[in-house]
Chains A and B, each alone.
Chain A
Amino acid sequence: MVKYSIFTIARNALTGHQNWPKQWRSPEPKPEYDVIIIGGGGHGLATAYYLAKEHGVRNIAVLEKGWLGGGNTARNTTIVRSNYLWDESAAIYEKSLQLWEGLSQDINYNVMLSQRGVLNLAHSLGDVREGVRRVNANRLNGVDAEWLDAEGVKNFCPIINISKSARHPVLGATLQRRGGVARHDSVAWGYARAADALGVDIIQNCEVTGIKREGGKVTGVETTRGDIAAKKIGVVAAGHSSVIAEMAGIRLPITSHPLQALVSEPIKPVIDCVVMSGAVHVYVSQSDKGELVMGAGIDSFNSYAQRGSFHVIEHQLGACLELFPIFSRVRMMRTWGGIVDTCPDASPILSRTPVDGLYFNCGWGTGGFKATPGSGWCFAHTLAKEEPHPLNAPFSLSRFESGALIDEHGAAGVAH
C-alpha cells in the first residue's frame, strides 16, 4: 500500500498524478473463502479489515450488491459519540470512539474525525432527569460527559434559541466534548483500501441471492456472480438484514423503516458543534464543506425503499427553526433516505445464529455510523473466535429469549 501523506501527494503532482495506484482492486470472486462478509458498507469493511489485521484471517471476501459504502454509510448524518446510558452500550460505543480517535492514522486515510462536541438537548423536566442520569452514568463508566444548563448551552452554541417562551424551551443539555462528526465516505473508502491491502477481496456489484447450507451449517452463498463457497458468513447488510436472514431460514426481531436526512446549501461556518434534540426530532451539524447536515425522524411505516415522506421534513424544519431561527432563509439543497433496521430495544445484534457458521451484525437502527469501528472490531472477533467478545456478548440474539434487553430508546437520536 502506498502510504498517503503530503509528500506522496507532492511527488505524484510532479507526474501529473498519473501513478496513483488503485485504492482497492476489483477482483473476480474466488471459488471459496474462509470468511465472506455480506455487505460492503462501513461496518462490513471494518469487519473485514479487523479480521485480517487483528486475527490474521487472509482469505476474506466482502460482497457488495451495489457500490461499496453506498447504503447507510453514504446516507447518515455522520455523528460520532459514545454517551449511551447503559453499561453495555457505553462500553461498545466507547470502544468505537477510541478506535475513531486513532483511525485516520491506523488506516492511513483521513476520515476527518472532528471532535467538536455533541449536545443532546433537554426540553422537559423528564428530559432533564434523563440527561442528568446519563451524564452521571457516563462519568462513572469513564465516558466524558457534562451537564449544561440553558445558559451553558447558549455559551457552547451561541446561535441556539434558549428563549423560555419557545414551544419546547431548552432546559439544558448533555455535552460530550469527544463526540463530533466524521466524513462518512472516507470511512468506507479508508477501510476498503486498508482491507484490500491486507488481501481482502472486495467484490462490488455482487448481490447475494441465497445462503447455502448443509446439515445446519453454512457452505457458501449464491450470488449474481455465481456461487461462492465459504466456511463462515458474516452478514452486515443494514436495511436488508431480515431479507438475508430469510434466505437462511431465520427471522430476526427487526423492523425496517425509512429515515431521512438533508443538507442545506454550503454556507460560511455558523455552528461548530453537533446539536441533537430527540424531543423535537432534529439533529444538526455543519460539514467541512459548509452544508448544514440535518437528520429527521423515521417514517412510521415499514419499507425497503430508500425514500421517505415529505411531511417528515416539513415537521423537522419547523422544529429546527424553533431552535435556530436564523436558519429560516437558508435553503435545503438535497434530501435523501435510507433504511434503518431497528430492534425492539433499539440496540444492535452482533451474534451467532442458529445456523452454524452464520453470524449477523445488524439492528443498529438510527445510530450505526458512530459504531462503525467498534462494530467491525467486535464482529471480527466474533467471526474469528466463533464466540462474542465480552463487549458484544450482551448484544447476542439470545437476549430476545432471556429478556436481557438493552433498552436504549431514550439514548438513540430519534424516537423509534
Chain B
Amino acid sequence: MTQAFRTTSGGRIDRRKAINFTFNGQSYIGYEGDTLASALLANGVHLLGRSFKYHRPRGIVAAGAEEPNSMVQLGEGATTEPNIRATQISLYEGLTASSVNVWPNVEFDISAINGLFAKIMTAGFYNKTFMWPRSMWMKLYEPVIRRAAGWGKAPTQTDPDIYDHMHLHVEVMVVGGGPAGLMAALAAGRAGARVLLVDEQSEFGGSLLSKKRQIGAKDEAGWIADMAAELEAMPDVTLLSRSTAFGYYDHNYLCVLEQKTDHLPAAERKGKVRQRVWHIRAGQVVLATGAHERPLVFADNDRPGIMLAGSVQTYVNRYGVLPGKKMVLFTNNDAAYEAAIDLQAAGGDVVAIIDCRHEVSGELVDAARALDIEILAGYAITGTSGGKRVESVEVRAIQKGAKVYTSAARQIDCDLVAMSGGWSPVVHLFSQSQGQLEYDEEKVCFLPGKPRQAQQVAGALAGQFTLKECLAGGYKAGADAARATGFTPKRKPAAPEIEEPDLGGIEPFWIVPGSRPIGEGMAKHFVDLQNDTTAADIELAVREGFESVEHIKRYTLTGFGTDQGKTSNINALAILSGILDKPIPKVGTTTFRPPYTPVSYGALAGRNLGDWSDPVRVTSIHDWHVENGALFENVGQWKRPWYFPKAGETMHEALNRECLAVRNAVGVLDASTLGKIDIRGPDAAEFLNRIYTNAWAKLGIGRVRYGLMCHEDGMVFDDGTTARLAEDRFLMTTTTGGAASVLDWLEEYLQTEWPELKVYCTSVTEQWATVSIAGPKAGAVLKKLAPEMDLSHENFPFLSFKEGTVAGLKARVFRISFTGELSYEINVPWANGLALWEAVMAAGAEFDITPYGTESMHILRAEKGFIIVGQETDGTTTPQDLGMDWIVSKKKPDFIGKRSFTRSDTARPDRKQLVGLLTETPDDVLPEGAQLVFDPNVPKPIPMAGHVTSSYYSAALGRSIALALVKGGHGRKGQKIFAPLEGKTVTAEIVDPVLYDKEGERLNG
C-alpha cells in the first residue's frame, strides 16, 4: 500500500524510517513519529470501528487522549491489550492491531442490524423491557446483552511484563509540556526549584507541535528544542514524556503513569519495565493541561471522515497527513479557519467553510477568503451522507440563535468534514483537586476557579488561548510556584516577537436544528460518540423527569465511556441547559473522577504481586523446617510449619505420631511467631489491669500470668501470657495473627483514652526466637542444655521464668504450657533461633524428640480444652461463655469489657457456651463449622443450638474429640446433640471441654 494521503514534506515524522504494521490483517507502512491513527489516515483508512449500540461505522475524530472512537485491540497473545486509542499509540515496527467488537469484520458487521431497531433502543430502554417472561432474563435477554457489550478482549495469558512504582518529592510539578508548561518549568527551574515536568505525548511542545509559529528567531520546532535543551541541562529538573498525570489527590499528591516501552518494537522491550506509576508530592503544582476541541452536534455527525478541526490541523502539520482531500469546515469560531488554511497549503482542497455565525470577519477569515475558499456565513450542516466515509454534507442557512432553517438544502461533496465548536479547557485534574469551575460566557467554556490546593494554572486551561498569552501565563505560573516554595525567580526574560494570527471570535452554538424535532426521522445527532448517546436521548431523559446532570449522564450514558466524555460532556450539558432553559452554570457539571485516562491494573499493582503482594514472614528456624519436609500453614503473614510428615506418612499418621511423642516423650515447636510486646513505664501494671480482665498489680517479678483481653462489648479478642520482667516492665505475648491489632489496640487506648498513663509499647516479636519443648522428657532435655539452671518445681514453678544460658546462648526460659505437659518456652535473640533449635534437637535425640507443627499443637490443646482465639471465639464470645469466669476479676474497679458483662444479653444464662463433644461413633470426626441442633427432625429453618469450633482425632484418647459452642451448654452436659450434615446426621454427647488429664497432673512432668 502506498501512503496516498501523505503530504510531500513537513511534519515531525522521519520519512527515512519506514515502519511496517498491520491493521485488521492488512499490511501498511507508516513513518517513525506516526501514531497508529496518523499512519492509517496516511493510508486512507478512516473506518476503524463500529459504534456501541447501533454498530454504525466510526472513524478517527481527534488526535489525542480525547478521541472517543478509534479503540483497537493492540498486539496479540500474552501482550494483547483491549481498547487502546489509535491516536495514542506510537507506531512501532511490527505493530498489529484490529477493530474491536465487530463480527465478522469492521467492513461488514452483522450487528449493524441493530440500526434497524434504533427507534426501540433509546436511552434506558432496557429498564422498560426484558421483564417478561421473568425466567427469560437470565436465560436469554441478559446473555444476549452481555455478549453484545464490551469492546476489546482481555488477554487469556499471564502478563509477561513488569511494572513498578516510584516516589518523588519536588517543589514544583508542572503538568503539561505545551508552551505554557515549558515556560512554567523554565521559570521554576531557573529559580532553582526541584521541578518535575510531565507530558502525556511522545515529545514536548503540546499544541505548538500542530501549528506553524515564529517565536523570535526560531520556528516552533526550534523553540521547543531550545526549551527542552535548557531544561534538560538543569540538574534539578526531571522531564518525563509519555507520562500522564492521571490522578490528583489531597495535599498535592499526584499520580503519573509513565509508558516506558509501549512505543518500542517487541524485541526491544524485553527485560525492561513496561510502565511505571510515579507518586509525586509537590510543594506547588502548575496545571498547564491545555484544552480539548468540542465537536458540533448536527445530524449524522458520526460518519468516518468527520473530525475535529484542530485535529485535522495536527495531522497535516505534525504528521504530514491529509485526512481528506476535499474538506468542508464547520465552525462557530475563527480559530478553526487555520485548519482550512493549513490543509489547503498542504495540497488539500477546502470546498467550503460553513460558519454558523452570521457576521464573520477577522484576520483568519480574510486569509481564507484570500485563498478563494467559499465561506457560508449563517449556515449549518443539516445532514451528511456516505457509507463508511462521509461523501457529502447538506447545508442550509439558519436563523440567528439556531432555531430554524431559512433556506433550502444544498449538497456539497467532500471526503472530510472538520468541525469546531470551540475549546474546553482540560479541567479534569483541577476538578479532581477539588477546585470549582466557573463558566466564562465570552470564551464559551468552563475555567478553573479558585484553587483548593497549592496550585497555579496556565495556558489554555486558564483560558489563555494564544501563544503569546501561554508563554506569559506559563512563565508567571512557574515563577509564582517557585516563589511560593521559597525560591526567588530570575527576572522575566523579554517576551519574544511572536507571529500568530488573531484569535478572533466565537459564538456559542450547541446543536443544529433539524427539519423535524430532534429524534424524529432517521437522522441522529450524536453527543457522545462512544456510547451512541444522541441529543434525542437527552431530550427523552428530560421528558421522563431526569433533570440533574448526573441523572442525564447515568440514564443516557453520556460521558460514561473510556474517554470519560472529554469531547461530549460540555455539549451534553449545553444541550441540557437549552432544554431546561437554564443557563449552563446553573445546570452544573458532573464529577471528574480519576484516572484522567485509563491505567493498566499491572501498573497500579506494580511489584506488589506474588510474594510481594503481602510480605512473607518466616522465623529464623524456617530453613530447617523446609529441609525437614514441613508443610506450611499461612497464619496472617507468617509461614508456620503445619506438620512434619515423614516419607509415606498420611497427614493423619503424622499427626498421631507428633501428638503421641509429646504425650509420651518430648516434642518441639517453633513458637517464634507469637506476638511479643515489650510494655514499660511506671504505669505498666495499671495499664495491664485495665486491658486484661484479670488482676496484674500483684504479679511478682519473674512470674507469668495468662490473660484474656476483651473489646468494650465484653467479647474476647486476644489472649496470651505476660511476664513481669521488672517492676515497671512486662513482656506480653499475643496470638500470632492478632499481634498487630493488639498493639494497635494498646496504642489506641494509650493515645486516646488514657494519655495520662506513662506506658510505652514496643513490638519485639522479631527480636526473640522461641522454641517450645513439651512432654514428660522436656525437663531432661532442658537440663542437658542448661545444666546451671535450677529446674526444680520449687525454684522454677509453673508460670514463672528464668534468665540464663541455654545451649551456650543467652536465654529467657518460660515455664508455661499450651499442651498440658511439662513445657518450657526458650527465648533467645532472633538470630540465634536456629542454633538453639539444632541444640535442642541434638539434646533431645536420645528421647526421640519430635518436631511438631500447628495442627498437632491444636489437637494437644483441644484435648486439654484450651481455646484458640478466633476459633473458639468469633467476636461474640465472652470469657464466661468459655467457662473462664475465673479469669474475670470481680474486684478491679474497671477494665475494658467489664461494663458489658452486666448487660442483659451478655449476662443471659442460655448464651452459647464452650463444651466438649464426643461423637456416638468414636471414629466420626465432625467437620469444623458443623452446625448443631437439639432436634434434627424439624423443617427449615431449623433452630440452631451452636456449632463445632474445633474437631480432631485424638491419638492419646483413641477417638475423635470436638469443642463446640452450644446454647446453655454448661448446663447440658450429658445431653445429646445433633450435627445435620449433607447426607447424614451425626449424634454426639455434650461433655466437659477438658478431655485429657482433667486433674492437670502432667504439668509437672
Measured CB to CB, the residues of A under 8 A from B are 4-6, 8-10, 13, 16-18, 20-26, 66-68, 70, 74, 87, 90-91, 102, 104-105, 108-110, 112-115, 123-126, 128-137, 139-142, 166-168, 185-186, 189-190, 204, 264-270, 272, 280, 286-290, 307, 309-310, 313-315, 317-322, 325-336, 344-345, 399, 401-405, 407, 409-410
Contact = CB atoms under 8 A, between A and B. Distances in A.
5 smallest beta-carbon distances between A and B, as pairs = A290-B150, A318-B608, A133-B929, A132-B929, A328-B159
B940 interface: yes
Contacts of A310: 247, 249, 253, 255, 279, 594
B635 interface: yes
B831 interface: no
B76 interface: no
A344 to B, nearest CB: 7
A126 B128 contact: no
A365 to B, nearest CB: 14
Interface in B117-131: 119-120, 122, 125-131
A82 B120 CA distance: 35
Contacts of A140: 931, 933, 940-942, 944, 980
A16 B610 CA distance: 56
B544 A114 contact: no
Contacts of B151: 265-268, 290
B155 interface: yes
Contact of B931 (A22, A133, A280, A325): A133
Contacts of A185: 554-555
Interface residues of B, number: 113
26 contacts: A20-B540, A22-B544, A23-B544, A23-B546, A26-B547, A70-B550, A74-B550, A112-B142, A113-B137, A114-B142, A124-B635, A132-B930, A140-B940, A141-B944, A264-B598, A266-B151, A289-B150, A320-B605, A322-B609, A326-B155, A329-B155, A331-B600, A333-B564, A336-B593, A403-B907, A407-B875
Given A110-B129, A404-B905, A331 B634 contact: no
B499 interface: no
Interface string B539-555: 01001111110110011
Contacts of B609: 318, 321-322
A171 B151 CA distance: 33
A168 B147 CA distance: 33
B158 interface: yes
Nearest to B564: A334
B138 A115 contact: yes
Interface of B: 79-83, 101, 119-120, 122, 125-132, 134, 137-138, 142, 145-147, 149-159, 161, 165, 247, 249, 253, 255, 277, 279, 517, 519-520, 536, 540, 543-548, 550-551, 554-555, 562, 564, 591, 593-595, 598-602, 604-606, 608-614, 616, 633-635, 712-715, 737, 870-871, 874-876, 900, 903-907, 927-931, 933, 940-942, 944, 947, 980-982
A265 B634 contact: no
Given A137-B944, A167-B616, A321-B609, 7 more contacts: A21-B544, A124-B635, A268-B152, A288-B146, A328-B155, A328-B601, A403-B905
A410 B875 contact: yes
A9 B944 CA distance: 50
A10 B129 CA distance: 11
Contacts of A25: 545
A322 B595 CA distance: 22
A112 B947 CA distance: 37
Contacts of B551: 67-68
B635 to A, nearest CB: 7
B875 A5 contact: no
B540 A329 contact: no
Given A5-B131, A133-B929, A326-B158, A402 B550 contact: no
Nearest to A169: B634
Contacts of B159: 325-326, 328-329
B606 A318 contact: yes
Contacts of A166: 610
Interface core residue of A114, A133, A409 (most chain B CB under 10 Å): A133
Contact of A330 (B82, B101, B874): B82
Interface core residue of B128, B247, B610 (most chain A CB under 10 Å): B128
Contact of A329 (B150, B154, B713): B154
Given A17-B519, A333-B562, A403 B900 contact: yes
B158 A332 contact: no
A20 B543 contact: yes
A315 B691 CA distance: 32
A121 B772 CA distance: 34
A310 B942 CA distance: 46
A63 to B, nearest CB: 15
A19 to B, nearest CB: 9
B545 A22 contact: yes
B422 to A, nearest CB: 26
A189 B127 contact: yes
Contacts of B634: 123-124, 168
A185 B546 CA distance: 12
Contacts of B601: 264, 317, 320-321, 327-332
B154 A326 contact: yes
Nearest to B874: A410
A13 to B, nearest CB: 4
Contacts of B980: 140
A114 B145 CA distance: 12
A245 B874 CA distance: 31
Given A17-B122, A22-B544, A5 B154 contact: no
A126 B941 contact: no
Nearest to A111: B127
A266 B150 contact: yes
B942 A328 contact: no
A186 to B, nearest CB: 5
B80 A403 contact: no
A288 B905 contact: no
Nearest to A327: B601
Contact of A328 (B129, B132, B605, B933): B605
Contacts of A403: 713-714, 900, 903-907
Contacts of B907: 403
A266 B247 contact: no
A329 B941 CA distance: 46
Contacts of B255: 310
Interface core residue of B157, B161, B545, B554 (most chain A CB under 10 Å): B545
Contact of B874 (A113, A265, A336, A407): A407
A309 B250 CA distance: 9
Contacts of B614: 167-168, 280, 319
Given A133-B931, A403-B900, A322 B613 contact: yes
B928 to A, nearest CB: 5
Contact of A18 (B165, B543, B602): B543
A315 B612 CA distance: 11
A8 B247 CA distance: 44
A229 B245 CA distance: 50
Interface core residue of A114, A335, A405 (most chain B CB under 10 Å): A405
B545 A87 contact: no
B120 A268 contact: no
Nearest to B938: A140
A313 B604 contact: yes
A64 B615 CA distance: 45
A411 to B, nearest CB: 10
A136 B613 contact: no
Nearest to A311: B279
B129 A5 contact: yes
Contact of B598 (A128, A137, A333): A333
B129 A13 contact: no
A265 B562 contact: yes
Interface core residue of A114, A333, A334, A335 (most chain B CB under 10 Å): A333
A185 B125 CA distance: 13
A258 to B, nearest CB: 11
Interface core residue of A21, A91, A185, A265 (most chain B CB under 10 Å): A265
